[in-house]
Amino acid sequence: MSKKVVVIGAGIGGLGTAGLFAKKGYEVTLLEKNANLGGRANIFEAEGFRFDMGPSWYLAPDLFEHFFDLMGERLEDHLDLVRLSPSYRIFFTGDPTPLDIHSDISIDSATFERIESGSSEKLQAYLRQSEYQYEVATQHFMYKNYDTVFDFFNRRVMTEGQKLSVFSKMHSFVSKFFKTKKLQQVMEYTMVFLGTSPYEAPALYNLMSHMDFNQGVFYPQGGFYELIRALARVAEKNGAKLRTNSPVAQILVENGVTRGVRLVGDEIVPADIVISNADIQFTETRLLEPKWQTYKQKYWDKRVMAPSAFIMYLGVNKKMPCLIHHNLLFSEDWRKNFDNIYKDPRLPDEPSLYVCAPSVTDPSVAPEGKENLFVLVPIASDLRITEEEKDAYSEKVLAIMEEQMNLPGLREKIEYKRIYTVDDFAADYNAFKGTALGLAHTIWQTAIFRPNNKSKKVKNLFYVGAGTNPGIGTQICLISAELVYKRVHGIKSAGPMESL
| Domain extent for 246 | 4-53+223-302+446-489
Cis peptide before 408 (omega within 30 of 0): no
Nearest partner of 309 among 373, 374, 380, judged by Cα: 380
Please check whether residue 389 lies inside any domain of the structure. no
Q: DSSP 3-state helix, strand, coil percentages of the chain (rounded to 5)?
A: 40, 20, 40
What Cα–Cα distance (Å) separates residue 380 from each residue in 202, 299, 309, 422, 441? 20, 19, 8, 9, 15
Query: Using CA atoms, how far apart are residues 301 and 286, in angstroms rounded to an integer?
Result: 15
Query: Using CA atoms, how far apart are residues 389 and 347, in angstroms rounded to an integer?
Result: 10
Query: Using CA atoms, how far apart are residues 246 and 248, in angstroms rounded to an integer?
Result: 6
Distance of CA 337 to the CA centre of its chain: 20
For residue 493, report the phi and psi dihedrals to the nearest 5 degrees: -60, 150
- Give a three-class secondary structure readout of 139-167: HHCCCCCCCCHHHHCCHHHHHHHHHHCCC
**Per-residue pLDDT, 408:** 95
Angle at 356 between CA 353 and CA 361, to 5 degrees: 155
Please check whether residue 249 lies inside any domain of the structure. yes
Please check whether residue 464 lies inside any domain of the structure. yes
Read off the amino acid at residue 432. F
Query: Which CATH number goes with the domain that contains 473?
Result: 3.50.50.60
Q: Which residues contact 42 (CB under 8 A, 6 or more apart)?
A: 34, 36, 52, 53, 54, 225, 428
**Per-residue pLDDT, 280:** 95
**Per-residue pLDDT, 27:** 97
Nearest partner of 183 among 101, 282, 281, judged by Cα: 101
Instruction: Give the H/E segment covering residue 341.
Output: helix 334-342
**What is the DSSP pairing of strand 308-316 with strand 414-420?**
antiparallel
Please check whether residue 276 lies inside any domain of the structure. yes
What are the residue ranges of helices labelled H in 189-224?
207-209
Please check whether residue 21 lies inside any domain of the structure. yes
Strand partners, 329: 91, 353
Q: How many domains does the chain have?
A: 1
Query: For the chain, which residues score pLDDT lower than 50?
Result: none
Cis peptide before 367 (omega within 30 of 0): no
Largest CA distance in the chain: 67
Read off the amino acid at residue 468. T
What Cα–Cα distance (Å) separates residue 312 from each residue in 25, 353, 390? 42, 11, 10
Give the pLDDT confidence of 420-460 residue by residue, as tens digits: 999 999 999 999 999 999 998 877 887 888 999 999 999 99
Asked if residues 91 and 330 have their Cβ atoms less than 8 Å apart, the reply is yes
Asked if residues 220 and 231 have their Cβ atoms less than 8 Å apart, the reply is no
Nearest partner of 137 among 475, 410, 500, judged by Cα: 475
For residue 311, report the phi and psi dihedrals to the nearest 5 degrees: -115, 140
What Cα–Cα distance (Å) separates residue 406 from each residue in 78, 97, 141, 263? 37, 10, 43, 50
Helices (H) and strands (E) in the chain, counts: 17, 19
**Per-residue pLDDT, 228:** 98
Query: Using CA atoms, how far apart are residues 187 and 123, in angstroms rounded to an integer?
Result: 10
Please check whether residue 496 lies inside any domain of the structure. no
Nearest partner of 370 among 360, 380, 379, 378, judged by Cα: 360
**Per-residue pLDDT, 204:** 78
Please check whether residue 208 lies inside any domain of the structure. no
What is the chain's Cα-based Rg?
Answer: 22
Per the document, the length of the chain is: 500
Please check whether residue 139 lies inside any domain of the structure. no
For residue 407, report the phi and psi dihedrals to the nearest 5 degrees: -125, 60
**What is the DSSP pairing of strand 49-52 with strand 273-276?**
unpaired
Query: Using CA atoms, how far apart are residues 497 and 500, in angstroms rounded to an integer?
Result: 7
